[in-house]
Structure 1
Amino acid sequence: MTSPSGSPANGAGTTAGDSTPERDQRWKALTVCLIAGFMTLLDVSIVNVALPSIKEGLDASESVLQWVLSGYALAFGLLLVPAGRLGDARGRRAVFMLGLVLFTLASAACGAAQSGTWLVVARVAQGFAGGLVTPQISALIQQMFTGAERGRAFGMFGTVVAVSTAVGPLLGGLLIEFAGAEHGWRWVFYVNLPLGAVCLVLAARLLPDTPSAGRVTLRRLDPVGVVLLGAGLLALLLPFVQAQQWPGTRKWLLLLVAGSLLGAFARWELRWARRGEEPVIDLTLFRVRGYWLGCLLITFYFAGFTSIFFISTLYLQNGLGYSALLAGVALTPFAVAAGVSSTVGGRLVSRFGRPLIATGLALVAVGLAGTALAVHFVQGKTVGWAMAVPLLVAGLGSGLVISPNQTLTLAEVPVGRAGSAGGTLQTSQRVGSAIGIAAVGAVFFAHLGPERWADAYDAGLIVSVAFVVAALVIALGDVVGGRRAGHGASERDGSPGRTAPRA
């Protein structure tokens, strides 16, 4: 966008009185966002294949290894909503850059870790920093793009989400292969340093300001709401991420605590909004059918989606003796297919709407079921080849889920709420990931025994498929409900009915 004079008004590529970059510069700014998004989301999965090396290099316990994975996801999820709100209020570029600096420093601390405790603390800090960066990306897309271009931009972001999660094991395997098992795991974290430095410089030059940003007081950030939400999510996630470390059933009492805290959060937010203050989450968003259904759908999908890589790397490396690199290669078909279909999905979503997502979910379910059958009928190390085709099918489906769902879910969200709305949506993803990894992992370990790796993997995949099918049911319900609503509206106004997809 240009001013009447055609010249930009500031160094961030914006025009006078506007915060949207010039047309060409918007795509450059998006590239910066996607690089940062890739870096932060990659660290969700890249560590999986490094766990054996970390265990040996730091003499780490099983509990430490669990927290290396779950500590990052937990911290990441806890900060997404308040970070989105902070970006809306203080300025998305400023919060993006702050998170990027902290993420880069935390990555350096992870790579330099001399003990398990050191690594866990650094990973938690890295997760908090990633939680600062990620909601700014969806908010900046909302701010910079409209219409079909927004769908295309979200499609590119969806590609990054899918590929970064899926390609993590392969990239981690490559780094460990070339740097050696003893210190290769450190480069899993050090790889973020040059990326972070370059991205920080480009962000300062290319990202736009936030029109509504101003001076922020603590009161404006709703500290009571932030604390209640954070405590509620922590109580919700802890029994799942600690399922293996905390024996017995008493840990599940935390779910009652979580329900009470989140209920108190909802009551507080409504009261806070009635006072005319800015809440952490605008609960009126959940009156929009497409928004709350999209959040619910993606929670179930990520429970099934991310758990695949957790149990697959365990099965391939520990069960079949694959190297970290070979384990990553075996999962590459999913990553490649997801990357291709995510780009296509972003372009098709404005034409087909929610039925496109339902189709993607059906493909994922079929692909995962096929993977379970391949593992059941193929013996030995050739199973990696047998998994390739069904994982390819699942990857094609995955690309039709993540970015189209993000586009449709945020379609009716005002730009001024884009950060907190996007943060809430991505919190749903992280909550789903933590619950899915814990649930699928619990079933996997329950079936594990001598010479029973394939049986354990099959059992875990069945749970993953169940989560994906639950997401599919939600998508189909939305399609049917949307058509009924459109038919009812056409009968009332005498029109022939709606043909455009529901957003």
Structure 2
Amino acid sequence: MAPHSEGGRDGGPGRPGTAAAEPLSDRGRWRALAVCLVAGFMTLLDVSIVNVALPSVRVALDAPEADLQWVLSGYALAFGLFLIPAGRIGDARGRRVVFMTGLALFVLASAACGAAQSSLWLVAARALQGLAAGLISPQISALIQQMFTGAERGRAFGMLGSVIGMSTAVGPLLGGLLIHAAGPQEGWRWVFYVNVPLGIVCLVLARRLLPDTPSARRIPLRSLDPVGVLLLGTGVLALLLPFVQAQQWHGPEKWLLLVLSAALLTAFVAWERRQSARGASPVVDLALFHERGYWLGCALILLYFGGFTSIFFISALYLQAGLHLSALLAGLAITPFAVGSGVAATIGGRLVTRFGRRLVAVGLVMVATGLGATALAVHLAPGRSAAWAMTGPLLLAGLGSGLVIAPNQTLALSRVPVRSAGSAGGTLQTGQRVGSAVGIAAVGAVFFARLADDGWATAYDHGLLVSLAFVLGSLLLALGDLRAGARESRTQPT
């Protein structure tokens, strides 16, 4: 199949804005994809790998609980806030240069995290690390849009889906291995230092292998819609903050931020419509949401990530604090989900062009069944045996997850113009971050409420049921899309 590349020479850097740049060869495109996937793995791994390091960080830096929460939340907030603006900047200024800038910043921030001498230092470095991750992530989906078409694009997104599923699920295992190898006192630093050599190698390869963006050009700052970026960033921040800080901010006044968020996001939509009417370039092309496949994909993945990422949050707590397993053993118990997700995502990427949204619906049914079976296994198995009883159901849930994330991304972006791929991918991934924050807060609230009265096993069961509710919500959207598609097929003239 002919490559769908906007430019770049295989093995050479080229120049941003060079419309006559030669397309990448088949080999060059897959090598460029490998660089993107390694960078994506690092940024997503740092969402989950830090969980098992927090007990060591608390002792080493004498960190209060609020600072420990911000070690996680600061990364997630900065990551989510910069996804859409970074996608827009990549579309306008060049995806390769934004990718490399983010990767260099990520390496420096990781080194700063590992060298932290206080909890405040670590919180600030983690926020910078999240900003860098937000710069990198939307360029990956945009580069896939740029380099591949048709079935090959599905395969590429399938590989990206494997990375998303595995990086989230194997984070606790890799963190446990690093802490076990380097010792509990200093092992937590290597959770961050491991990014440095890998990131440097990835940076060198990115300069050689990634294609340019021929449509990129030097444009004034006002063309990047700074007002839209500010309204969107503050609106998302006001939306996420009360959920991220749900355990630390006990008063009900935090929910007033949701009203502020609604006002800011309404103003953002009005501003973007004005930008489009004036012929200016908005940070988000609202016309994208006229396409049912795109807005439905964004809504579906928001709900799914609300259930998906919260599984690992409460599983790590239950296995380590409830069953008193080591970080390494807790990571091993969750690994079947990662294995299943990685295997199924590759398969899903190959099948999505044939089965479409039906494949996503089947995956969601598998995830829901796996979560229900996990809750049942924990309820029936006594003591530590519950950890091993979980592995089979988690494997089933992981296999289902692999059929959801990558195929949904492929379907959502299938009709998005390549020139808008960065901002469209950033919007889609912002839904993932928002869903993760809301899901962890909702599941965590139920988990901790039941823990005080009923113990670890019952708390874990109830937390899983909330995760299951998010997954069932995304399944309803998928089924609604299938029904709407069937109606359209019946009404089309033969």
Taking structure 1 as the reference length, the TM-score comes to 0.95
Are 1:431 and 2:434 an aligned pair? yes
Where does 1:463-482 land on structure 2 (aligned, <5 Å)? 463-482=466-485
> Which one of the candidate residues 144, 158, 161 is aligned to 1:158?
161
Q: 1:10 to 1:65 in 2, by over 3 A?
A: closer
Compute the displacement of 1:48 (Å). Answer: 1.0
Compute the displacement of 1:354 (Å). Answer: 0.2
CA-to-aligned-CA distance 1:93-130 (integer Å, 9 cap, x gap):
00000000000000001111111111111101000000
Compute the displacement of 1:13 (Å). Answer: 7.5
CA-to-aligned-CA distance 1:1-41 (integer Å, 9 cap, x gap):
69xxxx95882379981463122100000000000000101
Are 1:178 and 2:181 an aligned pair? yes
In structure 2, what is the Cα distance between the partners aligned to 1:10 and 1:390? Answer: 44
Are 1:32 and 2:35 an aligned pair? yes
- Residue 268 of structure 2 is matched in structure 1 by 265
CA contact (8 A) 1:151 1:407 kept: yes
- Residue 11 of structure 1 is matched in structure 2 by 12
CA contact (8 A) 1:12 1:21 kept: no
- Residue 351 of structure 1 is matched in structure 2 by 354
Are 1:457 and 2:433 an aligned pair? no
Q: 1:52 to 1:213 in 2, by over 3 A?
A: same
CA contact (8 A) 2:14 2:21 kept: no
CA contact (8 A) 2:379 2:461 kept: yes
Compute the displacement of 1:250 (Å). Answer: 1.1
CA-to-aligned-CA distance 1:480-500 (integer Å, 9 cap, x gap):
1111111111xxx2x1xxxxx
- Residue 215 of structure 1 is matched in structure 2 by 218
- Residue 168 of structure 1 is matched in structure 2 by 171
In structure 1, what is the Cα distance between the partners aligned to 2:208 and 2:456? Answer: 51
CA-to-aligned-CA distance 1:63-92 (integer Å, 9 cap, x gap):
111111111111100000000000000000
Q: 1:149 to 1:454 in 2, by over 3 A?
A: same
Structure 1 consecutive aligned stretches of length 4 or more whose deviation exceeds 4 Å: 7-10, 13-16
In structure 2, what is the Cα distance between the partners aligned to 1:440 and 1:251? Answer: 18
In structure 1, what is the Cα distance between the partners aligned to 2:106 and 2:375? Answer: 37
Describe the SS at the equivalent of 1:447. Answer: helix
> Which one of the candidate residues 285, 308, 312 is aligned to 2:311?
308
> Which one of the candidate residues 42, 56, 69 is aligned to 1:53?
56
Where does 1:482-493 land on structure 2 (aligned, <5 Å)? 482-489=485-492, 493=493
> Which one of the candidate residues 369, 372, 379 is aligned to 2:372?
369
Q: In percent, how many aligned pairs have the same letter?
A: 69
CA contact (8 A) 1:298 1:429 kept: yes
In structure 2, what is the Cα distance between the partners aligned to 1:85 and 1:373? Answer: 45
Are 1:326 and 2:329 an aligned pair? yes
Describe the SS at the equivalent of 2:282. Answer: coil
Letter in 2 for 1:112: A
CA contact (8 A) 1:37 1:134 kept: yes
CA-to-aligned-CA distance 1:271-313 (integer Å, 9 cap, x gap):
0111111100000000000000000000000000000001100
In structure 1, what is the Cα distance between the partners aligned to 2:306 and 2:274? Answer: 32
CA contact (8 A) 2:11 2:208 kept: no
Compute the displacement of 1:449 (Å). Answer: 2.6
Q: 1:48 to 1:16 in 2, by over 3 A?
A: same
List runs of 5+ in structure 2 lacking aligned partners. none
List runs of 5+ in structure 1 lacking aligned partners. 496-503
In structure 1, what is the Cα distance between the partners aligned to 2:300 and 2:490? Answer: 24
In structure 2, what is the Cα distance between the partners aligned to 1:451 and 1:356? Answer: 38
- Residue 104 of structure 2 is matched in structure 1 by 101
Compute the displacement of 1:53 (Å). Answer: 1.1
- Residue 191 of structure 1 is matched in structure 2 by 194
Where does 1:227-238 land on structure 2 (aligned, <5 Å)? 227-238=230-241
Compute the displacement of 1:211 (Å). Answer: 1.2
Compute the displacement of 1:450 (Å). Answer: 7.3
- Residue 389 of structure 1 is matched in structure 2 by 392
Q: 1:412 to 1:19 in 2, by over 3 A?
A: farther
In structure 1, what is the Cα distance between the partners aligned to 2:164 and 2:273? Answer: 32
CA contact (8 A) 1:178 1:184 kept: yes
In structure 2, what is the Cα distance between the partners aligned to 1:245 and 1:39? Answer: 28
CA-to-aligned-CA distance 1:305-353 (integer Å, 9 cap, x gap):
0000011001111111111100100000000000000000000000000
In structure 2, what is the Cα distance between the partners aligned to 1:49 and 1:135? Answer: 27
Describe the SS at the equivalent of 1:457. Answer: helix
Describe the SS at the equivalent of 2:91. Answer: helix
- Residue 410 of structure 1 is matched in structure 2 by 413
Compute the displacement of 1:451 (Å). Answer: 6.8
In structure 1, what is the Cα distance between the partners aligned to 2:243 and 2:288? Answer: 28
In structure 2, what is the Cα distance between the partners aligned to 1:450 and 1:488? Answer: 55
CA-to-aligned-CA distance 1:183-206 (integer Å, 9 cap, x gap):
111100001001100000000000
Compute the displacement of 1:173 (Å). Answer: 0.6
Letter in 2 for 1:138: S
> Which one of the candidate residues 274, 279, 302 is aligned to 1:276?
279
> Which one of the candidate residues 51, 62, 69 is aligned to 2:72?
69
> Which one of the candidate residues 112, 118, 122 is aligned to 2:121?
118
> Which one of the candidate residues 419, 438, 448 is aligned to 2:422?
419
Compute the displacement of 1:208 (Å). Answer: 0.4
CA contact (8 A) 2:10 2:209 kept: no
Describe the SS at the equivalent of 2:331. Answer: helix
- Give the aligned length: 487
In structure 1, what is the Cα distance between the partners aligned to 2:206 and 2:377? Answer: 45
Q: 1:301 to 1:455 in 2, by over 3 A?
A: same
- Residue 133 of structure 1 is matched in structure 2 by 136
- Residue 299 of structure 1 is matched in structure 2 by 302
